[in-house]
Amino acid sequence: MSQDTQTAASFQLKSASVSLTALELYHFDPDDFEATLRDKISQAPGFFRDIPLIISLDKYEGPNAELDFFKLIGSCRRHGIQVVGVRGGDDDQRRLARNAALALLPGGGRRDSNRNAQSEDDNGDESAAANETVTESPAAAEPAPVESGKPAKIINQPVRSGQQICAPDGDLVILAPVQAGAEVLAAGNIHVYGPLRGRALAGIHGATEARVFCQSLEAELVSIAGHYKISEDLQENGWKSPVQLQLKDEVLVATPLDKA
């Protein structure tokens, strides 16, 4: 037996589905960016801690000369946020991102679509064939529907502070309270048959039709497909009462269960 056969492979490459948060950048001024980022994090510090972030350039309107990815990355890292790539952008912007060692993801905006179309015209059938093999990240692709055939994950015990419970393929049903400092996540809906005091993130792969149901809304943060509200905002409607939360025109709305 050869030496190569006896040696186990040091790694394997496998496809993975990862939920990413996108920062939609319109212009970049280092001081303004830092101040705005600090304000956002102060609203929900637990939500932003150690999250991977992509920078969306689909709606960027500032001059490329001001787009300093090194300063942007530095600001994010000072607050525990890891910038992993950019989405969209023109050729010059993507070159700047590549120089900053950021991954390049396909964009969803019209400007990026036009750029890709021009690139395909220039490169011919070979480029078009290559594009057919690319699988977009969930953050860049159209939201994936939740597979209805997947069984719900059912939790019978209270979710304690510091715990994280995730249902990566379907709904999550919790037959007990979710305590402050806990986090529950699901690809589909989240049902909490008790007080929801921690953080609940439904539709983590982009399913905008996902909902959150609870017997008493006392949450630190609720998110559906990346759209979120923190405790201060949630107290405006349905606080400490049975509600369902859903997206309506990309706004998170709470509706009393007896009026749903």
Residue pLDDT tens, the chain, 260 long: 555 556 688 888 876 656 677 889 999 999 999 999 988 887 776 677 778 889 999 999 999 999 999 999 999 999 888 999 999 999 999 999 999 999 998 876 544 444 444 444 444 443 333 333 233 333 333 444 555 567 899 999 999 998 999 998 899 999 999 999 899 999 999 999 999 999 999 998 889 999 999 999 999 999 998 888 888 889 989 999 999 999 998 899 999 988 76
Q: Is residue 29 part of a domain?
A: yes
Q: Is residue 168 part of a domain?
A: yes
Give yes or no: residues 121 and 185 share one domain.
no
Give yes or no: residues 108 and 161 share one domain.
no
Give yes or no: residues 165 and 127 share one domain.
no
Give yes or no: residues 98 and 197 share one domain.
no
pLDDT of residue 189: 96
Give yes or no: residues 88 and 173 share one domain.
no
User: For the whole model, what pTM was predicted?
Assistant: 0.56
Q: Is residue 1 part of a domain?
A: no
Number of domains in the chain: 2
Give yes or no: residues 123 and 171 share one domain.
no
Give yes or no: residues 34 and 81 share one domain.
yes
Q: Is residue 146 part of a domain?
A: no
Q: Is residue 3 part of a domain?
A: no
Give yes or no: residues 167 and 123 share one domain.
no
Q: Is residue 193 part of a domain?
A: yes
Residue ranges making up the domain that contains 172: 153-259
- The string of DSSP letters for the chain reads --HHHHSPPS----------EEEE-S---HHHHHHHHHHHHHH-HHHHTT-EEEEE-TT--S-GGG--HHHHHHHHHHTT-EEEEEES--HHHHHHHHHTT-EEE---SHHHHHHHHHHHHHHTHHHHHHHTT----TTTSPPPPP-TTSPPEEE-S-B-TT-EEEESSS-EEESS-B-TT-EEEESS-EEEEEEE-SEEEE-TTS-TT--EEEEEE--SEEEETTEEEEHHHHTTSSBTS-EEEEEETTEEEEEEGGG-
The token pair at 188 is 């589909």
pLDDT of residue 215: 96
Residue that terminates a domain, selected from 66, 99, 131: 131
Give yes or no: residues 25 and 127 share one domain.
yes
Q: Is residue 138 part of a domain?
A: no
Give yes or no: residues 97 and 44 share one domain.
yes
pLDDT of residue 4: 53
Residue that terminates a domain, selected from 101, 131, 161: 131
Give yes or no: residues 37 and 97 share one domain.
yes
CATH of the domain at 255: 2.160.20.70
Q: Is residue 13 part of a domain?
A: no
CATH of the domain at 64: 3.30.70.260
Give yes or no: residues 56 and 116 share one domain.
yes
